[in-house]
């Protein structure tokens, strides 16, 4: 009698999870499934994030701060974004890879097209731009050329100096109404995803309820369709003052379990809690 494995039985390889696509984002919102998103800047962490079930990877221009030690994102270049996008995209088998278009790299349609070509060639599947106003037309023009766009409203780090620092936005009724109007205009322009940063939960809830596209919150409360954090913040690795909306998921845990817990808490709605919102 043999107690070994039956050589005639061929085990099927584990099924490869289906890749998150741009069209599938609306389905997440429709079925009420939260989207888990995290920044990634290299192959190793992108692979780890992909493995624990992250839905979206953002190659953020936040790399200027967390990797390069700058005080803002303003000095990040298209070439630097392309380098990190290429590295991170190689680590993703399932997660949708989004790349930030750095400051002023999409100020005109011509520049936006050049930036888009560079970042898409580097492996990005969606590009993110900040603000409304003239950016609505830029978003519309890129979308019309089949470039998938994620918009970003509220605290927009590329407008740091104009905003007067990292401050909560849309506290007043007029500002909240303008943010909603901008969100609707960006959706109409063909944007597929919207990041809301540092806005009161009630404002984010109102915007989320009015849009067909998903919203991703960062300091915008639990009512958004998903959440995003900077990887280094979520692992407690940041040397800067921790914003209120950050939770350290790595306390007494290994990094992989910490990131898995982040995904689980976003999916269940446990994060962000009351202590992480405005």
User: Is a pLDDT exceeding 50 seen at residue 1?
Assistant: no
Q: What backbone torsions phi and psi does residue 121 show, to the nearest 5 degrees?
A: -65, -25
How far is the C-alpha of 141 from the C-alpha of 163, rounded, in Å? 27
C-alpha count within 13 angstroms, C-beta hemisphere, residue 185: 17
| Per-residue pLDDT, 6 | 54
Strand partners, 150: 128, 193
Confidence of residue 184 (pLDDT cuts 50, 70, 90): very high
Cis omega (within 30 of 0) for bond into 272:
yes
Average pLDDT of the residues in 17-25: 92
Choose which CATH entry (3.30.70.260, 3.40.640.10, 1.10.10.10, 3.20.20.60) describes domain 24-276: 3.20.20.60
- DSSP conformation class of 221: -
Confidence of residue 3 (pLDDT cuts 50, 70, 90): very low
Q: Residue 197 catalytic?
A: yes
How far is the C-alpha of 152 from the C-alpha of 85, rounded, in Å? 19
Contact 195, 151 (CB under 8 A): yes
User: Is a pLDDT exceeding 70 seen at residue 63?
Assistant: yes
Closest CA to 128 of 96, 83, 172, 166: 96
How far is the C-alpha of 162 from the C-alpha of 41, rounded, in Å? 27
Q: What is the pLDDT of residues 148-159, one digit of tens each?
A: 999 999 999 999
Average pLDDT of the residues in 203-230: 98
Beta-carbon contacts of residue 79 (< 8 Å; ≥ 6 apart):
118
Percent of the residues in the chain that have a pLDDT greater than 90, as a whole number = 85
Average pLDDT of the residues in 16-26: 89
| Per-residue pLDDT, 15 | 55
Average pLDDT of the residues in 42-52: 97
Task: Output the pTM of the full model.
Answer: 0.90
Set 130, 187, 197, 265: catalytic member: 197
Domain residue ranges in the chain: 24-276
Strand partners, 57: 38, 97
Percent of the residues in the chain that have a pLDDT greater than 70, as a whole number = 92
Residue 99's SS3 state is strand
Closest CA to 38 of 64, 62, 65, 74: 62
Q: What is the pLDDT of residues 65-100, one digit of tens each?
A: 999 999 999 999 999 999 999 999 999 999 999 999
Where does the chain show beta strands of DSSP type E?
35-39, 56-59, 96-100, 126-130, 149-154, 193-197, 215-218, 226-229
Closest CA to 102 of 128, 122, 121: 128
């Amino acid at each position: 009698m043999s107690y070994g494995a039956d050589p005639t039985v061929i085990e099927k390889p584990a099924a490869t999870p289906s890749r998150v696509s741009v069209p599938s984002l609306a389905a997440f919102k429709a079925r009420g499934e939260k989207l888990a998103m995290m920044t990634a800047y290299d192959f190793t962490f992108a692979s780890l994030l992909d493995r624990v079930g992250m839905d979206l990877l953002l190659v953020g221009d936040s790399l200027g701060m967390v990797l390069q030690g700058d005080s803002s994102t303003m000095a990040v270049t298209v070439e630097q974004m392309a380098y990190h996008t290429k590295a991170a995209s190689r680590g993703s088998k399932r997660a949708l890879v989004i790349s930030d278009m750095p400051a002023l790299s999409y100020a005109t349609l011509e520049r936006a097209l050049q930036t888009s070509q560079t970042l898409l060639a580097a492996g990005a599947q969606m590009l993110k731009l900040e603000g409304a106003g003239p950016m609505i037309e830029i978003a519309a023009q890129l979308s019309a050329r089949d470039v998938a766009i994620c918009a970003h409203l509220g605290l927009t780090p590329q407008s740091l100096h104009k905003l007067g620092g990292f401050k909560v936005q849309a506290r007043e009724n007029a500002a909240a109404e303008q943010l909603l109007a901008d969100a609707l205009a960006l959706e109409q322009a063909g944007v597929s995803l919207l990041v809301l940063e540092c806005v009161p939960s009630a404002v984010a809830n109102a915007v989320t309820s009015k849009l067909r596209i998903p919203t991703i919150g960062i300091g915008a409360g639990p009512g958004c369709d998903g959440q995003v954090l900077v990887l280094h913040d979520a692992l407690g690795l940041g040397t800067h003052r921790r914003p209120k909306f950050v939770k350290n998921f790595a306390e007494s845990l290994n990094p992989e379990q910490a990131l898995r817990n982040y995904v689980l808490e976003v999916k269940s709605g446990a994060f962000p809690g009351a202590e992480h919102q405005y």
